[in-house]
Amino acid sequence: MSLEIYLQPFLYGIQLGITYILLALGLTVIFSIMNILNLAHGEFYMLGAFTVFYISGLMKINYFLALIICIGLVSAIGIFFERIFFRPLHGEIIPTVIVGIGLMWLLQNIAQLVFGTQPRGMKEIFQGNLSFLHVNLSYSRIGAAILSIVLVLGVYFFIYKTKLGKAMQATAQDKEAALSVGIDVGRIEKIGFGIGCGLAGVAGGILAPIFFIEPTMGTSVLIKSLSIIILGGVGSIPGAAIGGLILGIVESYGQTFLGYSATTFPFLIILFVLIFKPRGLMGREA
C-alpha cells in the first residue's frame, strides 16, 4: 500500500526526466558548438508545442506527421533568427546573452498576441493506462518517453557517428583548428543552431498532449534545461542524460511531498553545482 506512494513519483520522474533530456540536448548542442547561451530556448519549445497543437489537435492531421512538420518549422525559425540576430555578433558573450533575452521577449509576446494568453489543452494521442502494482502510467506518458529515447539516440548517433556530426564536435572543440582543416564553420553553426532549436520544438510537440500549452511556458523550460546541462556538464550528451533523469526524479518527488517549494529545485541545482562543482557531473576538463 505504502509502496505506491514512492513508486508512482519515481515512474513519473523517469518519464519526465527522459523528455527533459531532449529539452536540454538542444541547449547544450548550441552552447557547445557556438558558445551561445540561447536564452530563447524555452520559446522554441513553446513554438513546437503550439505547432503540434494546431496541426494535430485542431486540424486533425496525423500526430507523427505533425511532429515532423514541427521539427522542420522550428528549425527553420531558429536558423532564420541565427542568421539575422546571432551571426552579426560573432559569439561575443554579453551581446549574445542580451540578444537572447530580446528574442525571448519577442517570441513570447508575439505568441501571446497570436495564440492568446489562456492555457490550451490537447487531446491525448495514446489513450489508456498501464497499471501494475497499484501504480498508473498513461500510454501518453509512455509514448512520449519512447519518442524521446528514439530522438536522443538519433542525435547521439548523428553527432558521434556521422561526418557532419564529427565536424560539429571539431567546431565545438576548437573553432580555428576546425577552420584550418577545411570545415565550413559558418555552415556547421547554422546547422547546429537549427538542430538545437528543432530539438526544443520537438520536445514541445512531444509534451503537448501531456501538459497545458501557453505562451509563457518557455521560461520554466529554459530554467530546467539550464539546470540539467549545468548539472550534467555543459557540452556533454551523457551528462545531459544523467542530469535530465536526476532533475525529473527529484522534481517528481518534490512535487509529491513538498508542493510549491519544489519549483526552486532547478535554481538550487544551478547554484550549488556552479559553486561547488562547476564542471558538472560529466563535464570536460577545461
Count of residues engaged in binding other proteins, rule: CB under 8 A? 37
One-letter amino acid of 202: V
- Which of 76, 97, 137, 281 forms a contact with other proteins (CB under 8 A)? 97
Question: What track of x and - describes contact with other proteins for positions 108 through 127 (by CB under 8 A)?
Answer: xxx-xx--------------
CB of 266 to other proteins, least distance (A): 8
93 is a contact residue toward other proteins (CB under 8 A):
yes
CB of 177 to other proteins, least distance (A): 22
- Judged by CB under 8 A, the chain residues 23 through 62 that form the site for other proteins are 37
CB of 90 to other proteins, least distance (A): 11
Report CA torsion sign: 92, 93, 95, 96: positive
DSSP state letters, 91-137: T-HHHHHHHHHHHHHHHHHHHHHHH-SS-B----SS--EEEETTEEE
The piece of 69-77, 157-165, 189-197, 273-281 that touches other proteins (CB under 8 A) is 273-281
Q: Among residues 41, 94, 44, 32, which one has the least CA distance to residue 232? A: 32
CB of 66 to other proteins, least distance (A): 27
Q: CB of 118 within 8 A of CB of 214?
A: yes
- Judged by CB under 8 A, the chain residues 209 through 238 that form the site for other proteins are 219, 223, 226-227, 230
The neighbour count for residue 90, using CB atoms within 10 Å, is 8
- Which of 16, 74, 103, 145 forms a contact with other proteins (CB under 8 A)? 103
Tell me the C-alpha distance between 180 and 166, whole Å. 15
268 is a contact residue toward other proteins (CB under 8 A):
yes
DSSP tag of 280? T
Cell 497499471 found at: 131
CB of 281 to other proteins, least distance (A): 16
CB of 219 to other proteins, least distance (A): 7
- Which of 7, 14, 61, 89 forms a contact with other proteins (CB under 8 A)? 89
Cell triple for 166: 564529427
Cell 513554438 found at: 47
168 is a contact residue toward other proteins (CB under 8 A):
no
Cell 489537435 found at: 57
Sequence-ordered list of residues with C-beta below 8 angstroms from that of 244, at least 6 positions apart, any chain: 17, 18, 19, 20, 21, 22, 23, 24, 228, 232
- Judged by CB under 8 A, the chain residues 192 through 211 that form the site for other proteins are none
Q: Which residues bind other proteins (CB under 8 A)?
A: 37, 85, 88-89, 93-95, 97-99, 101-103, 105-106, 108-110, 112-113, 219, 223, 226-227, 230, 260-261, 263-264, 266-268, 270-271, 274-275, 278
